[in-house]
Structures are given as C-alpha cells and as structure tokens.
C-alpha cells in the first residue's frame, strides 16, 4: 500500500511541484491532495497539471472546524507536508497527526524563524546581519512557528557579492534537491 502525502501551500508551489514530480512514478508513496488557504495560489494549477485533487479552505474552516482533518483522514493521509504554507497549524490537526506534519523553512533554524519570518523577510535579515552562511531547515511542525524538532538542514556559503536574488536562488536549489528525499526517507520509517 502506497503512503499518502498531503501538501499544504499558500503560493506558487515550486517545492510542491518538485515533490509531485519526485513521487509521480513511485511505488512507495503518492501525493494524494494539495490544500491551500489561497484560492489564487499557483500551486492549485500545479496540482491540476499532475491530476492531483486540491482543496481550498478559509480561516474559519481551518481553525474553527474539523473539516480539513476529516478530509485528510478520509483520504488516509500518512504525512502532511507544509511547503510554503504561511498559517500556524491548529491544535486539532497537530493532535490528529502527531509527528506527521513537516515544514520547510528558508533559514538555518533556530535563527531567522518565528512569526513573520518567511520568504524575502528571512533573506533580507540574513543579508542585513552579514551572515557568512545560510541554508534551509526541514522540521516537524508544532504549535509554534518554526520551533519543531529539526529533521534536516543544508547549508551554503554566502559570498560578499551575493544579492537577495542570488541567496534566494541558492536556498531554493537546496530545497528542491533535499525536500523530496527527506520526505521519502521519513515515509520509509513510518
């Protein structure tokens, strides 16, 4: 029986795309559902391109009902992947999926994490602090932003001439390279 993955994303979904590509022909796992809090998110189109169903929800449905949890349970989801998803995970979802929700963060946690630290906000802070290295963190989600147990980190050197666009690109390359493999390894342990 294939393990089943649900991906939550709020925006473009480039990491979601890499995950969908990685598992498209897998005998071990499949992406069964893509969920978004943004009806205009390009990740919905990416899911359609792979013929993967999607579900769009609003704040009330996510935080004040069990609808999302029930959808995931009805689809026998084994692992939830947050790939550029910007809302805090509610308690009912954490309780239903203990140690089965992972997130990717565009920095080396515990540095540059927490509320408001996403996307360009992270990279601008890293540049402003003249950090010599930067990277990505894949971690379990918990009731706080970016504080769950770290699963994997990958690093790159920041050159003095690196611009915001260059460090974003370097980080995204690491995300695309490592996130699908970390997911695959986690699923093997489940």
C-alpha triplet 7, 8, 13: angle, nearest 5°? 85
The three-class DSSP label of residue 99 is coil
pLDDT for res 72:
98
pLDDT for res 140:
98
Q: Which residue has the tokens 């590509």?
A: 21
Q: β-strands 133-140, 101-105: how paired?
A: antiparallel
pLDDT for res 168:
96
Return the domain boundaries, the chain: 3-188
Report the percent of the chain where pLDDT is more than 90. 99
- Burial degree of 71 (CB within 10 A; 0-12, 13-18, 19+): middle
| Prior bond of 110 cis (ω within 30°) | yes
pLDDT < 70 positions in the chain:
none
The tens digit of pLDDT for each residue in 2-28 reads: 999 999 999 999 999 999 999 999 999
Contact 82, 103 (CB under 8 A): yes
User: How far from chain centre, in Å, is Cα 153?
Assistant: 14
pLDDT for res 107:
97
From the annotation, which residues make up the binding site for (6R)-10-formyltetrahydrofolate?
Answer: 103
Which structure tokens are listed for 156?
Answer: 């790159």
pLDDT for res 52:
98
pLDDT for res 96:
98
Q: β-strands 54-56, 3-8: how paired?
A: unpaired
Q: Rounded distance, CA 170 to CA 174, Å? A: 7
Which one is catalytic: 22, 55, 105, 176?
Answer: 105
Query: Is 105 an active-site residue?
Result: yes
From the annotation, which residues make up the binding site?
Answer: 13-15, 103
Which CATH number is correct for 3-188, 3.40.50.170, 3.90.550.10, 3.30.930.10, 3.40.50.620?
A: 3.40.50.170
């Amino acid at each position: 029986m294939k393990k089943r993955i649900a991906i939550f994303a709020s925006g473009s979904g480039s990491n979601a795309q890499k995950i969908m590509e990685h598992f498209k022909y897998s005998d071990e796992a499949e992406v069964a559902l893509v969920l978004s809090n943004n009806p205009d998110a390009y990740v919905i189109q990416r899911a359609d391109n792979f013929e993967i169903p999607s579900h769009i929800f609003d704040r009330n449905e996510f935080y004040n009902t069990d609808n999302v949890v029930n959808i995931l349970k009805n689809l026998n989801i084994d692992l939830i992947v947050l790939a550029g998803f910007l809302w805090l995970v509610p308690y009912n979802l954490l309780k239903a999926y203990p140690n089965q929700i992972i997130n990717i963060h565009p920095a080396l946690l515990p540095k540059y994490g927490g509320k408001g630290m996403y996307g360009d906000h992270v990279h601008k802070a890293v540049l402003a602090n003249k950090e010599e290295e930067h990277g990505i963190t894949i971690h379990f989600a918990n009731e706080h932003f970016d504080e769950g147990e770290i699963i994997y980190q990958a690093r790159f050197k920041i050159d003095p001439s690196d611009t915001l666009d260059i460090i974003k690109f370097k980080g995204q390359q690491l995300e695309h390279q490592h996130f699908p493999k970390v997911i695959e390894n986690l699923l093997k342990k489940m």
